[in-house]
Amino acid sequence: MNFIVNFLFSMFSTIAFSVITNIPRRAFLACGFTGAAGWMTFWILHTYFHQNIGISNFSGALMIGLISIFFSRIRHMPVIVFNVPSLVPLVPGGPAYMAVRHMMNQQFTESMEAVVTVLVTSGAIAIGFMFTNLIERALKRTRTNFQIK
């Protein structure tokens, strides 16, 4: 049951953000699936395999990047159309809020712990997208090297 709830809510939040950011309608379902797949990757690794936040977010971002490339080729749209809304479930909004809240309450130790969580999460997401970009370039290079001239 937890799988279904997590999948549906992450898909709904991604589609809702797609509407807000004015993504073309024909990409809504693909964006929703991409965001849900990224969140489920993060959630399964973090909950069931007890991986830390950095590895889980890196894997989720890598999954989002790879599926975004796949859908961009199928739908003939830019990759960023699928990347941006799909990141919404992975964004560390809760820890960022808690960092500011603890800072305002002058609980500096708790605030710094939350700041580190935000930095690790956002860094892992950025590195995940960087790896996706490297994978895409390597595949393009290998494809062009093996084509008959």
pLDDT digits (tens, 9 = 90+) for 85-125: 999 999 999 999 999 999 999 999 999 999 999 999 999 99
Q: How far is CA 145 from the centre of its chain?
A: 31
Task: Calculate the CA dihedral of residues 11, 16, 18, 22 and round it to 10 degrees.
Answer: 160
What's the confidence (pLDDT) of residue 149? 58
Q: pTM of the prediction?
A: 0.92
Q: Please say whether the beta carbons of 85 and 64 come within 8 A.
A: no
